[in-house]
């Protein structure tokens, strides 16, 4: 499940792309630098020797460098972690701090944009986060998430016959909860069977029903 990125939608001068590339982190593909400019405008507005940030551009840049969404019904931001495959709540204050650091780094990377360091007020950062809400809004993002079991080493995806396949983490699962135990297809859970189930349960059918119940709990039913 590959992540998508904005592609250039129009021609931009090489000088513009080169200038803007200094504002981008290494992880951002240069191919869509011009796409950001095409969609949101130049990174800064110039008025003589002074400059001011283009809020829409910096919100778009942050959204490209980070997997993030705004859930309007919950009124919350969620950011995806590649490390564990979870969408975690992130506060607006935390985003403002991250964007302030991004502006500071940009000001230090490019001599022409030194003044960005002075444009990191709370008012400016709130304006950028407001733009970010509109750009990343995804209503009911988690309402139709697929039924999976999120474990420590991947995501178990059941098929129509009840068999599970372990897949890599992906933001497309829209998972917010995780079982901290690694999945091992060779494990037999002997302690669970011999110490928890079999002393009180004699009937094999009862054992099967209880195991099914715990499976439903893992699926969130």
| Burial zone of 91 (CB within 10 Å; 0-12 exposed, 13-18 middle, 19+ buried) | exposed
Between CA 36 and CA 19 the distance in angstroms is: 13
On average, the pLDDT of the chain sits at 83
**What's the confidence (pLDDT) of residue 17?**
37
Structure tokens at 32: 């869509």
Q: Is 80 helix (H, G, I), strand (E, B) or coil?
A: strand
**pLDDT tens digits for 38-49?**
999 999 998 887
Single out the residue of 84, 198, 82, 67 nearest to residue 138, CA to CA. 67
- At 93, which helix (H) or strand (E)? helix 92-109
Q: Are 213 and 201 in contact (CB under 8 A)?
A: no
**What's the confidence (pLDDT) of residue 201?**
61
Region 113-131 average pLDDT: 95
Q: Are 178 and 86 in contact (CB under 8 A)?
A: yes
**What's the confidence (pLDDT) of residue 130?**
98
Region 142-149 average pLDDT: 90
Percentage helix, strand, coil for the chain under 3-state DSSP, each rounded to 5: 45, 15, 40
**What's the confidence (pLDDT) of residue 87?**
98
**What's the confidence (pLDDT) of residue 217?**
80
Q: Which residue would you say has higher pLDDT here, 98 or 205?
A: 98
Between CA 62 and CA 68 the distance in angstroms is: 9
Tokens 């939608």 identify what position?
9
Region 72-85 average pLDDT: 97
**What's the confidence (pLDDT) of residue 167?**
96
Binning pLDDT at 50, 70 and 90, where does residue 202 land? low
**What's the confidence (pLDDT) of residue 22?**
45
**What's the confidence (pLDDT) of residue 31?**
63
Q: Is 117 helix (H, G, I), strand (E, B) or coil?
A: helix
Give the predicted TM-score (pTM) of the model.
0.77
C-beta atoms surrounding 70 within 10 Å: 21
Domain borders along the chain are 24-136, 149-219
**pLDDT at position 211 over 70:** yes
**What's the confidence (pLDDT) of residue 32?**
67
Tokens 């090489």 identify what position?
14
**pLDDT at position 94 over 50:** yes
C-beta atoms surrounding 157 within 10 Å: 15
**What's the confidence (pLDDT) of residue 200?**
65
Strands 68-71 and 164-167: unpaired
């Amino acid at each position: 499940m590959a992540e998508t990125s904005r592609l250039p939608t129009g021609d931009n001068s090489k000088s513009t792309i080169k200038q803007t590339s200094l504002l981008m982190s290494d992880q951002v593909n240069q191919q869509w630098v011009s796409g950001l400019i095409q969609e949101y405008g130049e990174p800064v507005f110039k008025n003589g020797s002074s400059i001011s940030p283009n809020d829409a551009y910096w919100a778009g840049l942050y959204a490209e460098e980070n997997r993030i969404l705004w859930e309007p019904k919950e009124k919350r931001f969620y950011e995806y972690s590649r490390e564990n495959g979870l969408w975690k709540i992130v506060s607006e204050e935390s985003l403002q701090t991250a964007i302030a650091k991004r502006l500071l780094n940009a000001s230090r990377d490019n001599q022409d944009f030194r003044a960005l360091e002075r444009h990191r007020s709370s008012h400016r950062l709130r304006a950028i986060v407001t733009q970010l809400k509109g750009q990343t809004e995804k209503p009911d993002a988690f309402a139709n998430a697929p039924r999976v079991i999120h474990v420590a080493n991947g995501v178990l995806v059941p098929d129509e016959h009840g068999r599970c396949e372990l897949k890599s983490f992906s933001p497309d699962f829209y998972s917010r909860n995780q079982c901290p135990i690694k999945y091992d297809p060779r494990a037999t859970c002997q302690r669970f069977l011999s110490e928890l189930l079999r002393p009180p349960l004699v009937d094999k059918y009862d054992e099967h029903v209880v195991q099914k119940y715990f499976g439903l709990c893992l699926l969130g039913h």
